[in-house]
Structure 1
Amino acid sequence: MATETDTDVDTDTSPDTGTGIRADAARPRAQRPRADALRNRERIVSAAREMFVESGPEVPLDEIARRAGVGNATLYRHFPDRTELVRHVVVSVMSRAADRARAAIAEEADPFDALRRFVHAAADERIGALCPMLADGFDKEHPELLAERERLEGAVDSLMRRARRAGRLRDDVAVGDLLVALSQLTRPLPGSACMNFDQFVHRHLQLFLDGLEAPARSALPGTPATWEGLRRES
């Protein structure tokens, strides 16, 4: 159980100069979150991500606080309302997925192996939880969200371009195809009784990845899904 604190920032303990003014008072200093406050924040976001996947974004905040091991007051101190918590979860998922993509590019010599590694890693990051959270009333143009989305898009674009240039990825698929399939294959229905869903995720993702490899075994109907097209429909 995390320890509750009355404040989430370090306090100024600079010595008094004898004049009633602290030695560093003339120097502006940004307040830094306390280490335990940062840990609590991370625990809340992690618990929220898990519970949004399991039960949807309307899960009671009290239950999220309970799973995170913090009190309700701590949760509301970090996230005054559900909308702000949802946004931070979305940003966290995007950020972690982008980091996984960049790591795959840097560490895998074979471009398709890098793509495969990212897809499985993104499933572990619960990227499939994003779609149900992007509901009406969610600020999809928030600067923090736009920045992380751009970083994720760039990383996935790079993965797919590299695999395509190497002749390992079929030419008739686009980034949107990958993200739609990844979302659908990694997200159980909210409240589903299928408690063992996770055991099938990586198995089915591997079947999907086999279908992405070149040479293509069949022609795909329709047109490739692009980032722009997905954003217009969202």
Structure 2
Amino acid sequence: MTTVAAGPAAPRLRADASRNRARILTAAREAFVEHGADVPFDEIARRAGVGNATMYRNFADRRELVHQVTISVLSRVLGHATAAMAEEADGFQALCRFAHAAADERIGALCPMISDHVDLADPELDRARAELVEGVTELVRRGQLGGRIRTDIGAGDFVFALSQLTRPLPGTACLDHDQYAHRHLQLFLDGLQAPARSPLPGRAATLEDLRRS
């Protein structure tokens, strides 16, 4: 009797495990935005459509899950910055595209969670943040060199406004906030265009300024 090799099954299992992990990260991100980082694992598993055993097989504890959600969001946001620079010839349009994509990743709503629940000195997180800082700084620089973005702002000004405009107000439903976030974000982006309509007080903020504050 001919024996059928079982080898091909392993890649399918790995693909299933990868999909489960991705679903958990997506579900956790949305749950964290709506309810904070202390949302029960049972609720995240339910949203992801997986069992509790699968949850704990992928993420041993809450700290690891929050860490991996943070890395995932930073990586996705960096991907949006890279794509915008590669595919948009106009510097202002590239910045607009990136800003709205970052808003869709809930980056503003996740900022407080990142500050309170992750180790900011972690090497993996530090690398991810450094890469994103470089990408955002380059987006702003290209827009300014092309004459589309006013020169009296810095990448820190842009990131500060992006995080504030995409952060839901206390007591409001986070996911219902999206329509207003994108609307007000575009108002801000229009104000970045050159020539400037009025002078800004103070000096341009860098991302290093935000990190120190």
Is the shorter-chain TM-score for this pair beyond 0.5, marking a shared fold? yes
Farther off after superposition, 91-100 or 51-60: 51-60
Name the CA distance, whole Å, in 1 between partners of 2:84 and 2:159. 17
Determine if the alignment matches structure 1 residue 210 to structure 2 residue 187. Answer: no
Runs of 4+ in structure 1 off by over 3 angstroms are none
Counterpart code for 1:90: T
Counterpart code for 1:51: A
Task: State the 1:214 CA deviation.
Answer: 0.9
- Call closer, same or farther: CA 1:127–1:40 in 2, change over 3 Å: same
User: Greater helix share, 1 or 2?
Assistant: 2
Aligned to 2:138: 158
How many residue pairs were aligned?
206
Farther off after superposition, 133-142 or 112-121: 133-142
Task: State the 1:33 CA deviation.
Answer: 7.5
Aligned to 2:86: 106
**Contact persistence 2:156–2:210 (CA under 8 A):** yes
* SS of the residue 1:47 aligns to: helix
Determine if the alignment matches structure 1 residue 129 to structure 2 residue 109. Answer: yes
- Call closer, same or farther: CA 1:66–1:189 in 2, change over 3 Å: farther
- Call closer, same or farther: CA 1:159–1:85 in 2, change over 3 Å: same
Name the CA distance, whole Å, in 2 between partners of 1:92 and 1:108. 24
Name the CA distance, whole Å, in 2 between partners of 1:179 and 1:130. 14
Name the CA distance, whole Å, in 2 between partners of 1:67 and 1:194. 16
Q: Which runs of 5 or more residues in structure 2 are unaligned?
A: 1-5
Name the CA distance, whole Å, in 2 between partners of 1:127 and 1:195. 13
- Call closer, same or farther: CA 1:113–1:136 in 2, change over 3 Å: closer
**Contact persistence 1:65–1:71 (CA under 8 A):** yes
- Call closer, same or farther: CA 1:193–1:137 in 2, change over 3 Å: closer
Larger Rg: 1
- Call closer, same or farther: CA 1:33–1:96 in 2, change over 3 Å: farther
**Contact persistence 1:53–1:129 (CA under 8 A):** yes
Determine if the alignment matches structure 1 residue 52 to structure 2 residue 32. Answer: yes
- Call closer, same or farther: CA 1:200–1:136 in 2, change over 3 Å: closer
- Call closer, same or farther: CA 1:155–1:173 in 2, change over 3 Å: same
**Contact persistence 1:54–1:190 (CA under 8 A):** no
Task: State the 1:190 CA deviation.
Answer: 5.9
Determine if the alignment matches structure 1 residue 65 to structure 2 residue 45. Answer: yes
Counterpart code for 2:118: F
Name the CA distance, whole Å, in 2 between partners of 1:195 and 1:161. 32
- Call closer, same or farther: CA 1:190–1:61 in 2, change over 3 Å: farther
TM-score w.r.t. length of structure 2: 0.89
Aligned 1:58-207 pairs, distance under 5 A: 58-136=38-116, 138-189=118-169, 192-193=172-173, 196-207=176-187
